[in-house]
Amino acid sequence: MALLELRSVTSGYGRSVVLRDVSLDVNAGEIVALIGANGAGKSTLLNTIMGVVPLMGGAVAFDGRPLARIATPAIVRAGLVQVPERRQLFGTMTVEENLRMGAYVRERGEVSALLESQYALFPILRERRGQAAQTLSGGQQQMVAIARALMAKPKMLLLDEPSLGLAPLIVQQIVDLIVALRGRGVTSLVVEQNAKVALAHADRGYVIETGRIATSGTAEALLGDAAVLEAYLGGADVGSNSMEERIRAKKLAMRADSGQKAGPQTIRGSRP
């Protein structure tokens, strides 16, 4: 059974239906990309999973448990945590205060150890722990957003455009981090407008167009699909050598079917 399962999901806002008949699976240990243009319904999909946008039809299950009528904090407690689009940090609060907010579903006694493990993963955040979040660079703010989500001890992250507005080098760091988290047992569903960025590190992908799944497949198959790449080439970082190299390496690795997963690592905080 998949860790996250969506079956024929319909949802939207008031009388406006945005998602229609969306079915999608994410297995434990996978990184799955959800690719789509502006307004295709990617954020609506994540918000529907989290119970923020009401389900109009179909079913969502996480870890074998139906999520309909489950309140968002209980979903977080079950191990499913969203890293929202544009980070949504508490800008005037310090880095550490933001991180503590992420632990709202954990026991008080766990918080120090959870903080310590985020600082071990992101040494730059330890240095900046007393600084207001809004004074950090975009890449560092994204690290705070991910670290805040990790404070809830998730089994799975829903990452909404983690590369948005970041320079290619920083995008690469965030990608590496998502892969490293997989090595620590954290499954990810990553929303991206840019197919190349998304598929460079994913196992599989889904393409969403005007609220429906248009196509899906392995990352390798989607990377080989000219129509997908043409439609979702994305921003200026597409041509970056490191990303191209990464895609080539991924294709080779997939062919060799190595099955190797990245181990834990730390991520440095260079400015974009």
Contact 49, 221 (CB under 8 A): no
Q: CB-wise, 28 or 238, nearer to ligand ATP? A: 238
**Residue 49: phi, psi to the nearest 5?**
-60, -40
CB of 99 to ligand ATP, least distance (A): 25
CA distance 252 to 269: 29
HSE (CB half, 13 Å, CA atoms) of 99? 29
Q: CB-wise, 39 or 54, nearer to ligand ATP? A: 39
CB of 110 to ligand ATP, least distance (A): 33
Per-residue HEC secondary structure of 181-247 comes to HHHCCCEEEEEECCHHHHHHHCCEEEEEECCEEEEEEEHHHHHCCHHHHHHCCCCHHHHCHHHHHHH
Picking from 158, 152, 147, the residue whose alpha carbon sits closest to that of residue 51 is 158
CB of 53 to ligand ATP, least distance (A): 8
Q: CB-wise, 97 or 209, nearer to ligand ATP? A: 209
* Angle (nearest 5°) at CA 242 between 237 and 243: 55
CB of 191 to ligand ATP, least distance (A): 7
CB of 272 to ligand ATP, least distance (A): 20
Footprint of ligand ATP on this chain (CB under 6 A)? 13, 16, 18, 36, 38-44, 85, 193
CB of 38 to ligand ATP, least distance (A): 4
CA distance 12 to 54: 7
Q: CB-wise, 54 or 263, nearer to ligand ATP? A: 54
Q: CB-wise, 20 or 250, nearer to ligand ATP? A: 20
CB of 122 to ligand ATP, least distance (A): 26
Q: CB-wise, 210 or 266, nearer to ligand ATP? A: 210
Q: CB-wise, 13 or 104, nearer to ligand ATP? A: 13
Residues 6+ apart with CB under 8 A from 74: none
Q: Crossing angle of helices 138-150/168-183, nearest 10°?
A: 20
Q: Is the dihedral of CA 102, 106, 109, 112 positive or negative?
A: negative
